[in-house]
């Protein structure tokens, strides 16, 4: 028997199509990242509706294929430290991929750094917050120097003569990388150096020493442990002066154009945030200028820290929102067991729960931005509210980001575990905001301090919750339980108060989010939140919304749901 008949049969069959791709979602590119009803409603509610057109312009850019490619490049080609030039001269420079500079240039040009402090329009800080959330979506790492530049202005204002020199450049919309005399540049970026290896969060254990010179300048000697964005132009640094721990302004380049001593010993090898360089700088006879009174370094720099804590909330809300958009996009295009994933009840519950979490986080973040805007315009009630609400929001929203991103990644299955999806990078970045500017325990202790020392902050926070009184019985009951915890914390021993601080802060965050959603979100959203977050009728994982929740109403509030 020959093989001729078989050969002929094989030749008559159609060519096998082993690489035809089906049942995969299209790439999530070419869309408007700002096309989100939750974000847009908050923008208007908090007083920056005038910014909507610009926000959509930034959103379309953030959703473009080109910018997503920049984001990938900025993380794939990480910053590199050059300590010396070819001749052996110390240069301490960090080189970045051009994609990083493109992202930075747009962020500064769009006013996401220090520009709001020079903008007299009501809502300027809200507009900046919304823009920061949208532009952080494709690549959050470069937001670190942008955030610190925004945050440095209120701290620098405690030294008016320095603010007069540097503030116009810190509020500029011109990005000019490279080390040169700061007052000769068209725009500046700022950073801060607080922690040291022997103390970390306990900055009062710092050993960096400051010595005053006859000309009014100071000289610093010491070693910082975690200073991000070392190629920025200026830094606020804590050091021990004769009068106690104090705050100092340290420029990378001195007014005469010579290099200040800012030896970058190494760059940190971090879990995420890879596009952003973080370093250990050494000071050795480093020139600095005092900012604020001697001995008041923590009080002076806390103004900067408070603003960066706001950006941590904004960044985490943005990260939750970005993960939701990826999951929602995937399930609307992927079919399993004969139906779209979005039409399968179990997946609908998961994505609806993520949408609820995102709406609560975004609404709280923009409320804090609105309070910031009104507080800096003289509203004492809003300033008091911020004192407690920022720490509460920083604790809770930043805690929720890793869990939400992990759940969104799981919605994509193996596709989400692939670097090309962008979700692994988002997952690695997710814990960062919970650590930066004070970890969860630091925020909880800060809440305890505010409760014990600042009754006006407690009153302002309570007034915010009480604004929704009577609108939902579940919220009212939850607030009564929290009031009980507050009373017990006030009478507890310091050890017992600390032990229960996380539970207290979590409950404060949930009633605050509940009050905001009851007042401002659609009824179905508020009802879902009160049912799933303020009662015992819910599970601990996402996708455990109780029976009776209107899932379709939550799914209609996702960024992708608005477009579909």
pLDDT in tens, 191-205: 999 999 998 889 999
Structure tokens of 201?
Answer: 């969060």
What is the pLDDT at residue 9? 47
What is the pLDDT at residue 359? 98
Q: Which of 294, 310, 345 is the last residue of a domain?
A: 294
What is the pLDDT at residue 357? 98
Rounded to an integer, the average pLDDT of 387-393 is 97
Let me know whether 389 and 260 are in one domain.
no
What is the pLDDT at residue 11? 52
Q: Give 537's pLDDT tier (boundaries 50, 70, 90).
A: confident
Mean pLDDT, the chain, whole residue set: 94
Q: Is residue 423 part of a domain?
A: yes
Would strands 234-241 and 190-193 be described as parallel, antiparallel, or unpaired? parallel
Q: Is residue 21 part of a domain?
A: no
Are 314 and 369 a contacting pair, CB within 8 Å? Answer: yes
What is the pLDDT at residue 439? 94
Are 408 and 423 a contacting pair, CB within 8 Å? Answer: yes
Q: Is residue 185 part of a domain?
A: yes
Let me know whether 264 and 363 are in one domain.
no
Predicted confidence (pLDDT) at residue 311 exceeds the cutoff of 80: yes
Q: Which residues pair with 286 in a beta bridge?
A: 220
What is the pLDDT at residue 2? 44
pTM: 0.94
Rounded to an integer, the average pLDDT of 35-49 is 97
Strands (E), 119-232: 190-193, 209-212, 218-223, 227-228
Are 302 and 236 a contacting pair, CB within 8 Å? Answer: no
Let me know whether 66 and 115 are in one domain.
yes
Q: Is residue 54 part of a domain?
A: yes
Q: Give 15's pLDDT tier (boundaries 50, 70, 90).
A: low
Rounded to an integer, the average pLDDT of 2-18 is 53
Q: Which of 243, 260, 294 is the last residue of a domain?
A: 294
Are 200 and 206 a contacting pair, CB within 8 Å? Answer: no
Rounded to an integer, the average pLDDT of 324-328 is 96
Let me know whether 195 and 312 are in one domain.
no
What is the pLDDT at residue 13? 56
Predicted confidence (pLDDT) at residue 3 exceeds the cutoff of 50: no
Q: Give 444's pLDDT tier (boundaries 50, 70, 90).
A: very high
How far, in Å, CA of 517 to CA of 527, rounded? 9
Let me know whether 260 and 155 are in one domain.
yes
Q: Which of 243, 278, 294 is the last residue of a domain?
A: 294
Q: Is residue 181 part of a domain?
A: yes
Let me know whether 164 and 227 are in one domain.
yes
How far, in Å, CA of 332 to CA of 522, rounded? 23
Predicted confidence (pLDDT) at residue 472 exceeds the cutoff of 80: yes
Let me know whether 254 and 331 are in one domain.
no
Helix (H, G, I), strand (E, B) or coil at 83: strand
Q: Is residue 506 part of a domain?
A: yes
CA 258 to chain centre: 35
Q: Is residue 197 part of a domain?
A: yes
**Number of domains observed in the structure of the chain:** 2
For residue 487, the enclosing domain spans 299-556
Predicted confidence (pLDDT) at residue 17 exceeds the cutoff of 80: no
Rounded to an integer, the average pLDDT of 290-294 is 96
* % pLDDT > 70, the chain: 96
User: With the C-alpha atoms ordered 532, 533, 537, 542, is the resulting torsion angle positive or negative?
Assistant: positive
Let me know whether 76 and 213 are in one domain.
yes
Let me know whether 290 and 317 are in one domain.
no
Structure tokens of 410?
Answer: 């799981």
What is the pLDDT at residue 238? 97
Q: Is residue 438 part of a domain?
A: yes
* Distant-in-sequence, close-in-space partners of 107: CB < 8 Å, separation ≥ 6: 113, 135, 142, 143, 146, 175
Let me know whether 158 and 200 are in one domain.
yes
Rounded to a whole number of angstroms, the distance between the first and last alpha carbons of the chain is 61
Let me know whether 254 and 284 are in one domain.
yes
Rounded to an integer, the average pLDDT of 108-136 is 98
How far, in Å, CA of 474 to CA of 550, rounded? 17
Neighbours of 79 (CB within 10 A): 21
């Amino acid at each position: 028997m020959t093989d001729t008949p078989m050969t002929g049969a094989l030749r008559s069959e159609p060519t096998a199509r082993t690489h035809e791709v089906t049942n995969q979602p299209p790439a999530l590119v070419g869309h408007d990242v700002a096309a989100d009803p939750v974000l847009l409603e908050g923008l208007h509610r908090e007083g920056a509706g005038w910014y909507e057109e610009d926000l959509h312009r930034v959103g379309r850019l953030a959703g473009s294929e080109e910018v997503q490619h920049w984001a990938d490049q900025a993380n794939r080609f990480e910053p590199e430290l050059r300590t010396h030039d070819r001749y052996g001269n110390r240069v301490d420079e960090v080189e970045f991929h051009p994609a990083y500079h493109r992202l930075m240039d747009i962020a500064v040009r769009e006013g996401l750094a220090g520009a709001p402090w020079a903008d007299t329009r009501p809502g300027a800080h809200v507009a900046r917050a919304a823009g920061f959330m949208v532009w952080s979506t494709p690549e959050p790492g470069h937001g670190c120097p942008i955030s610190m530049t925004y945050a440095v202005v209120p701290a620098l204002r405690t030294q008016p003569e320095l603010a007069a020199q540097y503030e116009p450049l810190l509020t500029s919309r011109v990005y000019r990388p490279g080390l040169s005399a700061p007052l000769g540049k068209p725009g500046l970026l700022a950073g801060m150096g607080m922690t040291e290896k022997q103390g970390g969060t306990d900055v009062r254990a710092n050993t960096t020493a400051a010595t005053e010179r006859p000309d009014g300048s100071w000289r610093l000697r010491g070693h910082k442990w975690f200073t991000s964005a070392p190629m920025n132009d200026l830094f606020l640094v804590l050091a021990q002066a004769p009068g106690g721990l104090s705050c100092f302004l340290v420029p990378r380049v001195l007014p005469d154009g010579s290099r200040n001593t800012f030896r970058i010993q190494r760059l940190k090898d971090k879990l995420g945030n890879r596009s952003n360089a973080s370093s250990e700088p050494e000071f050795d006879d480093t020139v600095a200028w005092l900012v604020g009174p001697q001995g008041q370094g923590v009080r002076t720099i806390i103004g900067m820290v408070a603003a960066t804590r706001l950006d941590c909330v904004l960044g985490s809300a943005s990260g939750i929102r970005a993960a939701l958009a990826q999951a929602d996009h995937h399930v609307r295009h992927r079919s399993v067991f004969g139906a779209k994933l979005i039409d399968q009840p179990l997946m609908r519950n998961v994505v609806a729960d993520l949408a609820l979490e995102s709406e609560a986080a975004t609404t709280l973040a923009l409320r804090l931005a609105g309070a910031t805007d009104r507080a800096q315009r003289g509203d004492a009630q809003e300033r008091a509210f911020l004192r407690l609400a920022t720490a509460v929001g920083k604790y809770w929203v930043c805690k929720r980001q890793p869990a939400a991103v992990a759940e969104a990644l799981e919605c994509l299955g193996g596709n989400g575990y692939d670097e090309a999806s962008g979700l692994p990078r988002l997952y690695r970045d997710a814990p960062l905001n919970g650590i930066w500017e004070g970890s969860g325990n630091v925020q909880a202790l800060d809440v305890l301090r505010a409760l014990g020392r600042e009754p006006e902050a407690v009153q302002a926070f309570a007034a915010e919750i009480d604004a929704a009184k009577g609108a939902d019985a579940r919220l009212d009951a939850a607030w009564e339980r929290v009031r009980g915890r507050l009373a017990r914390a006030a009478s507890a021993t310091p050890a017992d108060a600390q032990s229960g601080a996380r539970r207290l802060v979590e409950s404060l965050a949930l009633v605050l989010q509940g009050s905001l959603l009851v007042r401002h979100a659609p009824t179905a959203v508020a009802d879902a939140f009160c049912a799933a977050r303020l009662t015992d009728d819910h599970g601990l994982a996402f996708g455990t919304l109780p029976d009776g929740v209107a899932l379709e109403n939550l799914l209609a509030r996702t960024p992708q749901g608005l477009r579909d």
